[in-house]
Amino acid sequence: MRKSWIAYPSRAFNRDRSHSGRALRLLVLGLALLYASPSKGQQGAESGANQEGASGPSDDGLNRTTLSGDWGGERTRLEKAGINLRAHFLTESAANPIGGKSQTTRHTQQVDFGADIDLGRLIDISGGRVQITFTDRVGRSLSADAIGNQFAVQQLYGAGQNFRLAELNYQQNLFADKLIVDLGWSPVGDHFASLPVLCDFQNGFICGHLNGMTINSGAQNFPTGQWGARITVNPKKEFYVSTGIFKVNPNASDSDKGFDLSFQGTGVFVPVELGWLTGREMQGTYKVGAYYNSSPTPDVFTDVNGNPAGLTGEPFATRNGRSGVYAMADQWIHRRRTQGPEPRRGLRIGAVAGLGDRATATFRYFLAGGGVYQGTFKHRDHDFVSLLVAHAHYNDRLTRYQEDRNVVAPGTVGIQHYENILEADYNAQIARWFSFRPNLQYVLNPGAPETFRTHLSLVCIRV
């Protein structure tokens, strides 16, 4: 998930081999190192803990909050003026010693940088904020090259593997923050169907707008933006209702669309979400939501004449849109205060469930649950260990279509029933701005199980 005003990543690949492309990426990496903010792992582990100034309690490399420090006080001056510059550099490597179509190793990486501008401080527009984020991705996907599974084992792969504008939006808080309006260019996954605790994993199943829901709904996840507007009403501090309307462009994540901000599209995406925030010491977040995408969408089984498309070979019937529902929750169930007000050691758990419509959804339903325990050993208050279990069940009508195709032309398509994922991570927080996270993943029935071995083990590292 992505919290407001903090950039979180997501996933695809197409390496730019030109000299200009290499020069651009070196420039982007340099900016990221210059502005480098606390690592996402740290942000996820602290879950909103109060952070110190840019240079931290000490200006030595390991204790400062950011890699590049306070720039002689300039960063603090900018923040006081309402300008918060941020950047992150993340890498993910993965190898599959067992299972898959072949055994190999792949690496992908992302640089993101941008600014959060508080217009109240900068030009006295109370409650106004501007957010801008650029991303650059390079690398290759183990899932695409060697596994063939649906949910990428490296979440940083995708969205064209290019340099792109991820976010450019304006937010206005009104009536003592009881009404919040967002306008501009941003991914739907920034705002709906996401939880912070579910981003402490490398697999792409669960971070941000859930991958199964993204496939079913046609919405976009970070860093692929789309034009839209969102309204959130907070009648009470612990309760909110949010809805929006976003332009749907199925090609927005293509490698040549990084700065294509046109209004081309096939329809509109309308989500609705209700949320409940509980507790002080033992905080929890509970959400239910639904969505509708008005774009014409092919049926997964029936042809244009109302017959089984797998047997007739005729084009699929077209449905007027698609829809789905979801529910999610996370809850602290154990907290233990250490010296000082923060951080707190403890255990936080979360779960999600989603249902796609029977006519068009690739996945009829999906489920996931997991937990994060922060404070693993003595003097390791910011380290955490996390565990994820996930299941996605393919639409039975899609499976019937595949079975019918194999009756007509044996062996032409794989028969898809479900994909299961297990992941265990250990995040070592070396410095406030640097984390190292080895993890193990186990995938059961990756992709179309008839085509290769159905069990897969992976060894992965995220930095």
User: Measured at the alpha carbon of residue 105, what is the angle toward residues 104 and 108, in degrees to the nearest 5?
Assistant: 145
pLDDT at position 45: 34
pLDDT tens digits, 260-296: 999 999 999 999 999 999 987 789 999 999 999 999 9
In this predicted structure, the answer to whether residue 168 has a pLDDT above a threshold of 90 is yes
Residue 414 carries which DSSP code? P
In this predicted structure, the answer to whether residue 40 has a pLDDT above a threshold of 80 is no
CA distance 140 to 150: 15
E-state strands within 338-383: 344-356, 363-374
Within a 13 Å sphere around the CA of 313, how many CA atoms are in the beta-carbon half? 5
User: Measured at the alpha carbon of residue 68, what is the angle toward residues 64 and 70, in degrees to the nearest 5?
Assistant: 70
* Alpha carbon of residue 139 to chain centroid: 18
pLDDT tier at 447, thresholds 50, 70, 90: confident
How far apart, in Å, do the first and last CA atoms of the chain sit?
18
Task: Identify the weakest region by mean pLDDT among 32-36, 73-77, 236-240, 451-455.
Answer: 451-455
Q: In Å, what is the CA distance from 427 to each residue of 94, 210, 382, 387?
A: 16, 22, 9, 12
pLDDT tens digits, 346-359: 999 999 999 999 99
CA distance 14 to 224: 15
Q: Over pLDDT 70: what percentage of the chain?
A: 82
pLDDT at position 205: 86
CA neighbor of 152 nearest in space, from 163, 168, 140:
140
User: Measured at the alpha carbon of residue 418, what is the angle toward residues 417 and 424, in degrees to the nearest 5?
Assistant: 165
* Alpha carbon of residue 170 to chain centroid: 21
204/41: higher pLDDT: 204
CA neighbor of 443 nearest in space, from 79, 147, 5, 23:
147
Among the CATH numbers 3.40.50.11890, 3.40.630.30, 1.10.1060.10, 2.40.160.180, which is that of 19-462? 2.40.160.180
Q: Which two tokens stand for residue 368?
A: 């996931």
Task: Identify the weakest region by mean pLDDT among 29-33, 120-124, 221-225, 300-304.
Answer: 29-33
Q: Which two tokens stand for residue 91?
A: 């890498």
Q: Give this prediction's pTM.
A: 0.85
pLDDT at position 4: 34
Residue 199 carries which DSSP code? G
**Phi and psi at residue 65, in whole multiples of 5°?**
-70, -35
Give the start-to-end residue ranges of the domains of the chain.
19-462
19/437: higher pLDDT: 437
Please identify which residue in the block is written with the tokens 């017959």. 307
Residues 5, 10, 12, 18, CA torsion sign:
positive
Three-state secondary structure call for residue 43: helix
Cβ neighbour number for residue 266 with a 10 Å cutoff: 15
pLDDT tens digits, 93-106: 999 988 888 899 99
pLDDT tier at 344, thresholds 50, 70, 90: confident
Do the Cβ atoms of 218 and 295 come closer than 8 Å?
Answer: yes
Residues 201, 203, 206, 210, CA torsion sign:
positive
pLDDT tens digits, 194-248: 887 778 899 988 776 678 888 999 988 899 999 999 999 999 999 999 999 999 9
- Per the prediction, the chain carries an average pLDDT of 85
pLDDT at position 281: 79
Three-state secondary structure call for residue 136: strand
In this predicted structure, the answer to whether residue 450 has a pLDDT above a threshold of 90 is no
CA distance 260 to 43: 31
SS3 helix, strand, coil % of the chain, rounded to 5? 20, 45, 35
Residues 6+ apart with CB under 8 A from 156: 9, 10, 11, 90, 91, 92, 108, 109, 110, 137, 139
pLDDT at position 43: 35
* Alpha carbon of residue 179 to chain centroid: 25
pLDDT at position 255: 92
CA neighbor of 221 nearest in space, from 148, 138, 155:
155
Q: Measured over all CA atoms, what is the biggest interatomic distance in the chain, rounded to whole angstroms?
A: 71
Please identify which residue in the block is written with the tokens 């508080």. 118
CA neighbor of 180 nearest in space, from 194, 168, 170:
170
Do the Cβ atoms of 314 and 161 come closer than 8 Å?
Answer: no
